[in-house]
């Protein structure tokens, strides 16, 4: 049965947060030892900014810790005269119409009459002209 078929008021998820149980004395001693080991390992890898107090480490373990964001100001970059370059203006050589002659359009002159196109091996297309009819016969014999 799908949820759309159920009556109103039924839900499958719980939206209530569970209360966190308090630690026992042994658990608290183990937690303090874990905190010391964490700080020791951060000091060992030279990540001193990752070291935490016991309260911060408690929030970190429970997933509630948010890192403190350091506000940094960036200097605005202003180029000096040494980085600027003077550019010379070179005028164009022509009037801007074009630099090459236009290619003549290709036209069929009608010297040879095209009979058709034959397919040789696989997809190799070969034109067949009227004066070479024997080529068409040879291509037909080559086919398998």
- Reported as a single tens digit per residue, the pLDDT across 12-31 is 677 777 777 888 999 999 99
- Sketch the domain layout of the chain as residue ranges: 23-78, 112-144
- Report which of 33, 36, 67 is spatially closest to residue 50, judged by C-alpha positions: 67
Per-chain mean pLDDT for the chain? 81
Low-confidence ranges of the chain (pLDDT < 70): 1-12, 81-84, 94-99, 143-144
């Amino acid at each position: 049965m799908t949820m759309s078929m159920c009556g109103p008021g039924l839900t499958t998820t719980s939206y209530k947060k569970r209360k966190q149980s308090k630690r026992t004395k042994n658990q608290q001693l183990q937690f303090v030892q874990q905190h010391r080991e964490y700080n020791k390992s951060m000091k060992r890898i030279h990540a001193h900014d990752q070291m935490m107090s016991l309260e911060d480490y408690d929030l970190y373990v429970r997933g509630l810790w948010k890192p403190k964001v350091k506000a940094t100001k960036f200097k605005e970059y202003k180029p000096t005269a040494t980085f600027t370059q003077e550019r010379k203006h070179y005028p164009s050589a022509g009037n801007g119409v074009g630099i090459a002659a236009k290619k003549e359009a290709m036209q069929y002159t009608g010297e040879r009459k095209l009979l058709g196109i034959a397919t040789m091996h696989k997809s190799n297309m070969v034109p067949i002209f009227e004066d070479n009819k024997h080529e068409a016969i040879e291509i037909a014999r080559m086919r398998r």
